[in-house]
């Protein structure tokens, strides 16, 4: 029982760090840009900050992706953070629970069907934003 209590406490602390924006390694040098500007930085490492306008865990889609669309909701999104189902276990919280929160996502910007996106493999790529 003690081990279970310890693990729950550790998970709660980790969740707080992730959601409240604990410092993460490798993100300090990334260029900070808006979701609208991300399309102009394809191929670059950047931090894109905005409000999660729509969030969806697509359980019936191949790869079970989670989509976090910043500033504008689907289908009018300008930027999407994509978390594949195989990476969800790395998160101590459900990524779609970030809906309506301001976050920053760090990674290499790619383009998919004319929209900018960053593939997120772990919670260290997402920080809370003011």
First to last CA, the chain: 38
Structure confidence by residue, pLDDT tens digits, 51-82: 999 999 999 999 999 999 999 999 999 999 99
Closest CA to 107 of 42, 62, 50: 42
Structure confidence by residue, pLDDT tens digits, 14-62: 444 444 444 444 456 789 999 999 999 999 999 999 999 999 999 999 9
Q: Which CATH number goes with the domain that contains 59?
A: 2.40.50.140
Measured from the Cβ of residue 4, the count of other Cβ atoms closer than 10 Å reads 8
Task: Give the model's confidence band at 7: pLDDT under 50 very low, under 70 low, under 90 confident, else very high.
Answer: very low
Q: Which domain holds residue 99?
A: 2-128
Ramachandran region, residue 115 (left: φ > 0; alpha: ψ -120 to 50; beta: rest): beta
Q: Is 107 in contact with 32 (CB distance < 8 Å)? A: no
How many domains does the chain contain in total?
1
The answer, yes or no, to whether residue 94 has pLDDT greater than 80, is: yes
The residue whose two tokens read 């980790």 is 14
pLDDT attached to residue 30: 86
Task: Report the alpha-carbon distance of residue 22 to residue 92 in Å, rounded.
Answer: 14
């Amino acid at each position: 029982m003690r081990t279970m209590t310890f693990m729950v406490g550790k998970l709660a602390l980790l969740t707080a760090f992730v959601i409240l924006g604990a410092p993460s390694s490798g993100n300090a040098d990334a260029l900070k840009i808006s979701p609208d500007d991300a399309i102009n930085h394809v191929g670059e490492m950047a931090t894109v900050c905005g409000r999660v306008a729509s969030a969806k865990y697509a359980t019936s889609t191949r790869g079970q992706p989670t989509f976090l669309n910043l500033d504008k909701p689907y289908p009018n999104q300008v930027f999407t953070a994509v978390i594949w189902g195989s990476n969800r276990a790395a998160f101590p919280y459900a990524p779609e629970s970030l809906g309506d929160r301001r976050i920053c996502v760090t990674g290499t910007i790619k383009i998919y069907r004319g929209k900018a996106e960053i593939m997120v493999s772990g919670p260290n790529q997402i920080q809370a934003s003011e």
